[in-house]
């Protein structure tokens, strides 16, 4: 019997994202967020809108393309990728995010963008920043690591990064947290590290640090 051969094919699908306009009219920067594994866009939107200064930003929460049901509640949740066809999934995700940014630019102008992520969404935030054609003011990252495939030249586009880790976070270890800081600093990124009393979560400490960060990059 002949061996089975696995192949891939490109296809078209539809993504989903949420928008919260800035409180004031006129041009405003964009804050784009990416949720963690097994969440939806609503979860990340709630995190971002909890940041007081986010009212002055165009807030966008992007949902992962790979949707499935949460078994206990039957809610629709999503993820960004698995290890299967990982490189193709990265390319699909970056094209997806790029399309959203282009559409938003046609609808309204914004001077710069900050990408934010929680858990699995952190990798998306850094990838989006490294691939962005818009001016990137920074990245807010909580509970996730900097993707290993992004070279120093790509990381340099980040400009400034807030890295947050709970001291009891078993997923985002202290060693990885330290290595991420080293890589970013070697790429001349201004790093703002935060270790807080907590686990794998987005806490009040993260919200306060994110608020300071957003105010700083707008100054």
Q: What is the mean pLDDT of residues 40-67?
A: 97
At 104, the pLDDT band (50, 70, 90 cuts) reads very high
Strand 76-79 and strand 66-69: the pairing is antiparallel
- Phi, psi angles (nearest 5°) of residue 25: -75, 165
Q: If 0-12 CB within 10 Å is exposed, 13-18 middle and 19+ buried, where does residue 211 land? A: middle
At 175, the pLDDT band (50, 70, 90 cuts) reads very high
At residue 125's C-alpha, the angle toward residues 59 and 182, to 5°, is 130
Q: Which residues pair with 42 in a beta bridge?
A: none
210: nearest Cα among 144, 163, 146, 157:
163
Superfamily of domain 23-213: Alpha/Beta hydrolase fold, catalytic domain (3.40.50.1820)
Asked whether the beta carbons of 185 and 161 are under 8 A apart, the reply is no
pTM of structure: 0.95
Q: What pLDDT was estimated at residue 122?
A: 98
At 219, the pLDDT band (50, 70, 90 cuts) reads low
Give me 99's structure tokens.
């399309």
* Chain centre to alpha carbon of residue 49: 15
Could you tell me what percent of the chain has a pLDDT over 70? 99
Q: What gap in Å lies between CA 47 and CA 117, rounded to an integer?
A: 10
Note the pLDDT tens digit of each residue in 120-151: 999 999 999 999 999 999 999 999 999 999 99
Q: What pLDDT was estimated at residue 27?
A: 84
Q: What gap in Å lies between CA 99 and CA 45, rounded to an integer?
A: 19
55 pLDDT higher than 90: yes
């Amino acid at each position: 019997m002949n061996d089975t051969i696995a192949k891939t094919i490109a296809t078209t699908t539809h993504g989903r994202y949420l928008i919260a306009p800035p409180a004031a009219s006129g041009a405003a920067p964009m804050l784009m967020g990416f949720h963690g594994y097994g969440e939806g866009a609503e979860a990340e939107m709630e995190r971002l809108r909890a940041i007081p200064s986010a009212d002055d930003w165009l807030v966008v929460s992007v949902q992962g393309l790979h949707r499935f049901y949460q078994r206990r509640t039957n809610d629709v949740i999503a993820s960004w990728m698995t290890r299967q066809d990982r490189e193709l999934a990265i390319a699909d995700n970056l094209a997806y995010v790029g399309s959203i940014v282009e559409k938003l630019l046609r609808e309204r102008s914004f001077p710069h963008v900050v990408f934010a992520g929680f858990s699995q969404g952190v990798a998306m935030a850094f990838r989006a920043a490294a691939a962005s054609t818009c001016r990137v003011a920074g990245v807010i990252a909580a509970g996730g690591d900097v993707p290993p495939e992004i070279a120093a030249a790509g990381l340099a586009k980040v400009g400034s990064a807030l890295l947050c880790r709970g001291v009891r976070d078993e997923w985002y270890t202290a060693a990885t947290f330290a290595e991420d800081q080293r890589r970013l600093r070697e790429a001349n990124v201004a790093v703002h590290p935060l270790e807080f009393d907590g686990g794998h979560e987005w806490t009040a400490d993260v919200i306060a640090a994110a608020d300071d960060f957003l105010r700083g990059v707008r100054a």
